[in-house]
Chains A and B, each alone.
Chain A
Amino acid sequence: MLTIQIVINGLAMGASLALVSIGLTLIFSILRVTNFAHGVLYMLGAYTVAYLSGVLGWNYFVALAAAGLALAACGLVLEVALFSRFHGKLLEGAVMAIGVALFIEAAAWIVFGGNPRSSPAPFPGVWNVGGIILHKHRIFVMLASAVLVGSLYLFVTYSRHGRAMRAMQQNAYAASLQGIDVERISILTFMIGGALAGLAGGLMAPLQMMLPNMGAAPLLLAFVVIILGGMGSVGGALVAAIFIGMVQSVVISLWTPQLALGVSFFLAMLILLVRPKGLFGHE
């Protein structure tokens, strides 16, 4: 019984983590930018939903879609105004992203204040199936993630823009020589990443207390996921996110919650020792 509960909790954690990680890994592999600002995009998504549905009384699903769009726009602005100059510059790009993350978080403390907020859930309550607790909203998060990841996978694999993204992943310069509009694909990548992070934040908003630093934990876990999953692989990120969700769930249920992050990183490093390109990465 406990095992099933742990697995279900793990799947739920993995589902939202996958959304954050896939955006991060796409930005990393296509633009070669370590986007430390990804966590604050998640946070902004959550606050957007909380404001629209909690304060203005919008329908939750409309608010969620609005958060996705708003954070896509946010990604567009960040890429065009700031990150476009730092493609491929590992250290400078990382520091720039840290600057952005610090700035937005500090601004959020000042604007939103330090009182925890919450957001109403569209599906409150739980199902109790033979002793196993199923949060209705968690099930919704899992389904929504599955749909989003599935459609992103189809987009990246089969669409023209998706192919261009994969071409840039391998070699941006060669891609530009093939007539791919590198600038446009970069903006698209950042918009997708921003939207996914915003949607993940919005999906998780009803499940947790919100503070301006709420993006830190998913950001750090997403790094574990892209270490494990290999840079730029949507499938790898999905599998690794579910794996890390499980690890979190096991450590939290059977050991101590504070250790979950450390244990995840420790596992990721052990795996890197054996497979320096990640579990699913290849040359």
Chain B
Amino acid sequence: MNKVALQPAAAMPARLSWAGLAVLLALLVAVPSFLGDYLVHVLILTLFAIVLGVSYRLLLTADAASFCHGTFYGIGGYTVAILTVKAGFSFWSAFPVAGLTAGLAAVIIGYPALRTRGPYFFLMTFGFLMVMESIFANFDKLTGGFAGIANIPPPTGVSGVRAFYYFTLAFAVLSVALFWAIDRSRWGLELRALGDSNDLAQAAGISRFRNMILAFVLGAVFAGLTGGIYASYITFVAPQSFNFWVSVYILTYAVIGGSRQFSGVIVGAIYITLLPIVFNWSQNLVALFVAASIVVIMMLFPEGIVGTLVRWNRERQSSSRPGGLDDERPFSPVAAAKQQRDLSNARPLLEVSGLDKHFGGLHATKSVSFMIREGETLGLIGPNGAGKTTLFNLISGFIRPDTGTVELDGVALVGKTPDRIARFGLTRTFQASAVFDKLTVQENLQAANAAGRGSDAEHATLVDEVLELVGLNAVRDVQAGSLPFGTKKLVGLAVALATRPRLLCLDEPVTGLTGKEVERFVDVLRRLQARGDLAILLVEHRMPVIMNVCDRVIVLSFGEIVSQGTPKQVQADPIVHEVYLG
């Protein structure tokens, strides 16, 4: 019923905005005929700012802020300047090269920089900006030094401000459409998932590095192309055309407008570019205005202009929000006592042998070896600090063992990244931070990338099946971050299932859940076992759950396997009692 209530409300603004878009586009096409040259010039600069903004935002959706977008813009500008003025190229042959050189620069700096994280990426790109600024200013023979390069020819066929306006408008509309489409696409979803949680995204089979560098390079290409048009329009480039502050301004577009919404960066670009020129303020006054806007907007509307409008709108619309599960669903009769399954003939799926890991002086796992058969559920227990989570991280590729091998169906996993391991069919869940907070439940599952991931339609069917199986249909359109803890854990399980795993590794899935939620979880596990094709490795502290669902149990203590066997055997083993009671 929640869905029914939401649908028309969501559809109306969508239709309105399409109409609005058409009107806006018509207006933009008609505008030069009733504006003076100066205002058309202002519009051209604004269009440049918009393309820079949307191309910068792409990597920002993965929550990585770079600081050198203005440098890529500059590289494009200098490429066109050098090729046309010094090498005699026409604009049209130099223009694509501007995008290419900027893209190449992004590869060179992005490759090392994206291997670092958070502040270091920001600082590396900042360093690149400073180095390039120095090169622009001092590589006299190529760049003309501080004097720059003048007399850059316009593109053949484009002469005068108005012609340039239409050329820039066409380029801007195409660019914005492209980045908008990316934002709506699966790739956009993967980037947003990465922005929410790097670890979870990788566990769900999403490659961090490949996605990030692609986003970085594509953004740089469009900044370079924009720079190429800019150079040809202004007919002059110099170091100060692309200095530090250009990159800073691009950054502020996103923050002032709101980086969560695609339109935010456009609003920010227009606000920062248009207002000062329209009022024709002196340079100091412009700086004062931009600075005051930044401070005031960030204090009053930390989510940016558009971000704040969206939040107000959402708060007005949804006063009550369902947070529960499909509780009417009857529990399956499978919940009765578990019969002993005979899996001794099943093929081995995961083989772990001699896994060793030291953290400084701590020996976290000591040559751990075990095996999981296809369709088997193996419990892994042990006191706190026994090395269970370390073992999980070793198997799923989040940390690398000192020695030892892990093989999934004959494929060696050591040294592979978590996302590749997930795509081979080994997926893990996390104790905490189990969901992509800012995506809806359905998007959480859609973002998951699987080994045999078929077409989008096939994946949509899988998503529906998993939502049904785990019982999350009622909350599928709810933002995952707003769900209660127990439901989040179920969503975490559902994300893992949406990767279509062959081996599912669950790290304390019912810890912190209420009795009723535990029952639901056990019920879901039972249904999965009944399908027979999924092996499960279960780390858990709640003994009844282990005893109830596991075919076999291994006990870990101080990084060593001290006991293994059926749940009953392990329960009776005196060593196990000693381990737990000290």
Contacts and interface: CB of A to CB of B under 8 A. Distances in A.
A60 interface: no
B291 A106 contact: yes
B120 A277 contact: yes
A223 B290 CA distance: 24
Contacts of A17: none
B291 A103 contact: yes
A250 B112 CA distance: 28
A190 interface: no
B288 A107 contact: yes
Interface in A224-274: 224, 226-227, 231, 256, 258-259, 261-263, 265-266, 268-269, 272-273
A159 B176 CA distance: 55
A86 B256 CA distance: 14
Contacts of B569: none
Interface string B138-149: 100000000000
B127 A95 contact: no
Determine chain B's interface SS by DSSP, over half rule.
helix
Interface in B280-311: 284-285, 287-288, 290-295, 298-299, 302
Residue among A82, A100, A226, A227 with the most chain B CB within 10 A?
A227
A133 interface: no
B138 A259 contact: yes
Contacts, number: 120
A28 B119 contact: yes
Interface in B252-284: 252, 254-256, 259, 284
Contact of A98 (B123, B133, B248): B248
Nearest to B297: A99
Contacts of B131: 262, 265-266, 269
Nearest to A100: B295
Contacts of A34: 119, 122
Nearest to A104: B291
A91 interface: yes
Interface string A205-230: 00000000000000010011011000
Contacts of A258: 134, 137-138
A139 interface: no
Contact of A95 (B115, B116, B255): B255
Contacts of B115: 276
B118 interface: yes
B404 to A, nearest CB: 23
A102 interface: yes
B124 A272 contact: yes
Contact of B298 (A95, A101, A256): A95
Contact of A91 (B251, B291, B294): B251
Interface string A84-118: 01100011101110111111011101100000000
Contacts of A100: 291, 295
Nearest to B129: A265
Contact of B251 (A85, A94, A103, A220): A94
A105 B298 CA distance: 19
Nearest to A108: B284
Given A94-B251, A223-B126, A277-B120, A262 B294 contact: no
Contact of A261 (B130, B254, B298): B130
For chain A, the bracket of interface size reads: 35 or more
B134 A105 contact: no
A106 B65 CA distance: 26
A227 B127 contact: yes
B358 to A, nearest CB: 15
B135 interface: yes
Residue among B65, B251, B295 with the most chain A CB within 10 A?
B295
A223 B248 contact: no
Contact of B294 (A96, A107, A268): A96
Contacts of A256: 138
A96 B138 CA distance: 31
A257 B134 CA distance: 11
A227 B127 CA distance: 9
A109 B122 CA distance: 29
B294 A263 contact: no
A34 B259 CA distance: 19
B291 A102 contact: yes
A231 B65 contact: no
B127 A105 contact: no
Interface string B98-118: 000000000000001001101
A7 B516 CA distance: 73
B120 A276 contact: yes
Given A85-B299, A256-B138, A227 B130 contact: no
A268 B127 contact: yes
A105 B256 CA distance: 20
B526 to A, nearest CB: 38
A86 B287 CA distance: 22
A99 B294 contact: yes
B219 to A, nearest CB: 15
Interface string A173-194: 0000000000000000000000
B130 A102 contact: no
B145 to A, nearest CB: 9
Contacts of A262: 130-131, 133-135, 138
Contacts of A227: 123-124, 127
Nearest to B118: A90
Interface string B191-209: 0000000000000000000
A103 B256 CA distance: 16
A92 B254 CA distance: 10
Given A109-B284, A262-B131, A269-B112, 13 more contacts: A90-B119, A91-B259, A92-B255, A96-B295, A103-B292, A106-B284, A107-B288, A223-B123, A258-B134, A258-B137, A259-B134, A266-B131, A272-B116
Top 8 A-B residue pairs of the complex, sorted by shortest distance between their CB atoms: A262-B134, A99-B294, A103-B291, A102-B291, A106-B287, A265-B130, A91-B65, A106-B288
22 contacts: A32-B119, A85-B302, A90-B65, A91-B60, A95-B251, A95-B255, A98-B251, A102-B290, A103-B287, A106-B287, A107-B288, A109-B284, A223-B126, A256-B138, A258-B134, A258-B138, A262-B138, A265-B128, A265-B131, A272-B112, A272-B120, A276-B115
